[in-house]
Structures are given as C-alpha cells and as structure tokens.
C-alpha cells in the first residue's frame, strides 16, 4: 500500500472518529478536546505526510485538502505557514481543531467585549495563548477569536479539521484591536462547493 493510500485511510478514519464524537456529544468543549487528541495522534504519524507530497506556499501560507466532505461536511487539511506569517484576530464562525506536524505557531485567544451594537466597531480582550507544536494542538468553538503567528525560522506544518470545508465557510470576522474595528467577509455558505 502506498503512502498516499495509507494517508487517505488514516484521514478517513479520523473523520469517522470525529463524526462519532459529534454524534455522541455534540459540539462542546469536551468533544472538541477529544477531537484534538485524535488529531494530535494522527499528526504524530509524520511518515504519512512527507513534504515531497505537498507544495510549499508561494506566499505566506497554503492549505492542502486531505479529505473534504460534500455539502456541509467536514474539511481536513494539511496547512503550511512560512516563518513570520501572522493573522490578525479573527473568528471563523465555525469550530476547528489543529495539531502540529512540525514548527511552532502561537495562537492568541481573545474575547469580544462590546455589545456588537455599532456596525464596524468592536473591542476585544486577550484572554489566553497557546503554542501549537509537535505533540500539542488546540481546539476552538464556533465563535472563538484567535490570532496566529509562526514562531522561529521553520515553517509551521500542521493538520486542521473544520466543521465545514473552507469553500463552505460562514462569514469570517477580522478584528483590529488597535482601531476598535471589525470587518466581516461574505459567507460562502450558499456558494456552490468547489
């Protein structure tokens, strides 16, 4: 059996395990934690993810689909982020779990502190920080807010499972704490799947 076939089998099992967790528990912190542990275990199997199988980013980052379900199904991706890549605080609008194959990525966690009554305005407060590195992952619920930054001189390479495939994401909110503002992208929920 080829590495690609072994990888596909392992990815298929992971998504089956995630579905079983969701069916049993729903999307609660305990379920997200259990999913994260399963994803960290898969990420430890680095022989399934040789870099020769995945093109490096031309710019700062790239997502390689490993297994993407149809319609409103899950998406499992191998992510590569180059040193120095960062993203401002944002809310995916859907849950996700991450685990590292290599490198280190800092995730700062935020909580929105305003009432959302003024369009385009928002305040957020930093409430925590997690470093995703080999052997460690993180989980976020539907409207958790985080920023990211690749640490060190090596790319951050990891696995990510999202509650929806990237092509079916709801709107994403980007927060700019220094300006007290928020910008929201259009939802992809009604766009045809790619």
> Domains in the chain, start-ordered, CATH in brackets?
3-184 (2.60.120.10)
Contacts 24+ apart (CB under 8 A), 23-30: 27/95, 27/141, 27/142, 27/163, 29/139, 29/141
Beta bridge partners of 67: 76
Residue 73 half-sphere exposure, CB side, CA atoms within 13 Å? Answer: 13
**Do 182 and 115 meet the contact criterion of CB atoms below 8 Å apart?**
no
Digit-coded pLDDT (tens) for 81-119? 999 999 999 998 899 999 999 999 999 999 999 999 999
Q: Read off the tokens for 10.
A: 């392992």
Digit-coded pLDDT (tens) for 29-64? 999 999 999 999 999 999 999 999 999 888 889 999
Q: Residues 6 or more apart from 8 whose CB is under 8 A from it? A: 66, 67
């Amino acid at each position: 059996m080829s590495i690609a076939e072994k990888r596909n089998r392992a990815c298929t099992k992971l998504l089956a395990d995630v579905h079983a967790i969701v069916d049993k528990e729903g999307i609660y912190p305990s379920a997200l934690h259990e999913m994260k542990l399963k994803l960290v275990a898969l990420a430890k199997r680095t022989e399934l993810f040789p870099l020769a199988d995945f093109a490096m980013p031309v710019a700062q980052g790239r997502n390689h689909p490993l297994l993407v379900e149809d319609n409103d199904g899950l998406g499992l991706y191998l992510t590569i982020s180059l040193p120095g890549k960062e993203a401002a605080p944002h809310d995916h609008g859907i849950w996700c779990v991450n685990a590292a194959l290599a490198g280190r990525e800092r995730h700062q966690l935020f909580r929105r502190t305003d009432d959302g009554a003024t369009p385009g305005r928002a305040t957020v407060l930093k409430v925590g920080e997690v470093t995703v590195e080999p052997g460690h992952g993180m989980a976020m619920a539907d409207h958790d807010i985080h920023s990211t930054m690749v640490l060190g001189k090596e790319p951050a390479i990891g696995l990510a499972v999202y509650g929806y495939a990237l092509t079916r994401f709801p709107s994403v909110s980007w927060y700019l704490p220094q300006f007290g503002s928020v910008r929201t992208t259009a939802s992809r929920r009604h766009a045809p799947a790619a």
